[in-house]
Amino acid sequence: MSISNRESPDPAAVQTPADLGSWSRPGVSLAVLGSPVKHSLSPQMHNAALAEMANRSGRFRNWRYFKFEVNPADLADALHVFHERRFLGINLTVPHKVEALDFVDEIDPRARELGAINTLVWSEEGYHGYNTDGYGLEQAVRQELSLEFADKRIFLLGAGGASRAAAVQILRGGCRHLHIGNRTAPRLNALLEILEGLGFGDRVSGFSIDEPPGEASDADLIVNATSLGLAADDPLPSPLDRYSADSAVYDMIYNPRETALLRTASERGQRTAHGLSMLVWQGARALEIWSGTAVPVEAMRAAAEAAL
Ligand code: ATR
């Protein structure tokens, strides 16, 4: 491989797969692929961690993390070129996490259950796919809300891609019961069928998101995985007064930091946390997989907070 003397590409700039034609930076390259990817906090988060890791070990001095705008139609070709260019690690964000299952060489069995991959690791034959989002949620709930999934009654709002990964992680974590609420029934039923197929049928049930069942008064944790809350005037995803005032609330949304759900829950005296911690922990796990070493999570959190 030729070693170029030109300046390394700017990790803050949005690159496209076309930029890979002349990609010849020495050292280890990592990247997040998304569309739109402009607002991704991952480059700041990972490069902050890598700077700290480089201070401890010369091995990381030449590691950099970039962001690439990749259209869904171009994902297969793009991954091929990233592999040729020997990008050690790839993160996938919206809308690539499910599609990419078809374009990798091997999929971690746990990631296959979660139905999506967000972390790829280079190998000679192709990329190996992992999912660190489930771990990210479990760690975030543990760290921010001091809560373990085991033996808890948990309410999960939403039945999309993010919700599926969360549901499997919560069930694998040994929850007592998982109640999944969604606006439309077909999507909810499709998710319930998948979870039944994985053998979780006796610990999971569904409800219409506006009509939480009576067990809501016994809830330990509510997790919002719907997109409601992204807009400032969005209503609550589910009527909070039907849930136990002792339950904790985790909202996967982190921008805005305080959604109507979190504000209302705080007013009721409930413990709350927003989704930045999940972003940080999924990123920390990905960097652990790539580097094979412990990573400075606090540096990642500080960089993500600052970038936000
Ligand atoms: P993601 O991959 O982030 O999970 P998604 O697959 O588009 O995104 O899922 C979005 C979730 O937010 C779904 O559960 C969706 O409910 P429907 O399946 O009924 O569409 C939920 N959602 C989006 N807008 C909503 C709204 N206005 N009210 C209630 N739920 C909403």
- pLDDT tens-digit map of 271-305: 999 999 999 999 999 999 999 999 999 999 999 99
Ligand 1: distance of its center to the CA of 223 in Å? 13
Q: Could you tell me which of 271, 189, 180 has the C-alpha nearest to residue 225? A: 180
Give the C-alpha distances (Å, rounded to integers) separating 193 from 41, 188, 201, 245, 282. Answer: 34, 9, 8, 31, 26
30-66 pLDDT, tens per residue?
999 999 999 999 999 999 999 999 999 999 999 999 9
User: For the whole prediction, is pTM greater than 0.75?
Assistant: yes
Amino acid of residue 203: R
162 lines ligand 1 (CB under 6 A): yes
152 is catalytic: no
Average pLDDT score over residue span 166-184: 98
Q: What confidence score (pLDDT) does residue 3 get?
A: 38
pLDDT bracket for residue 95 (50, 70, 90): very high
Quickly count: other Cβ atoms within 10 Å of residue 27's Cβ. 12
Ligand 1: distance of its center to the CA of 210 in Å? 13
Distance between CA atoms of 186 and 32, rounded to whole angstroms? 32
Q: What confidence score (pLDDT) does residue 2 get?
A: 36
Helix or strand (DSSP H, E) at 284: helix 276-291
pLDDT bracket for residue 7 (50, 70, 90): low
Q: Which amino acid residue places its CA nearest to atom 26 of ligand 1?
A: 228
- Beta-carbon contacts of 68 under 8 Å, excluding residues fewer than 6 positions away, are 14, 15, 16, 17, 19, 31, 32, 33, 34, 37, 78
Average pLDDT score over residue span 73-81: 97
203-261 pLDDT, tens per residue?
999 999 999 999 999 999 999 999 999 998 999 999 999 999 999 999 999 999 999 99
208 lines ligand 1 (CB under 6 A): no
127-156 pLDDT, tens per residue?
999 999 999 999 999 999 999 999 999 999
Ligand 1: distance of its center to the CA of 134 in Å? 18
118 lines ligand 1 (CB under 6 A): no
Q: Which amino acid residue places its CA nearest to atom 14 of ligand 1?
A: 158
Q: What confidence score (pLDDT) does residue 11 get?
A: 82
Quickly count: other Cβ atoms within 10 Å of residue 210's Cβ. 12
Ligand 1: distance of its center to the CA of 237 in Å? 10
206 lines ligand 1 (CB under 6 A): no
pLDDT bracket for residue 6 (50, 70, 90): very low
Average pLDDT score over residue span 168-192: 98
Would you state the structure tokens that stand for residue 102, as one six-digit string?
A: 């078809």
Q: What confidence score (pLDDT) does residue 25 get?
A: 87
Q: Of all atoms in ligand 1, which is nearest to the CA of residue 188?
A: 18
Distance between CA atoms of 1 and 24, rounded to whole angstroms? 8
227 lines ligand 1 (CB under 6 A): yes
Q: What confidence score (pLDDT) does residue 4 get?
A: 39
158 lines ligand 1 (CB under 6 A): yes
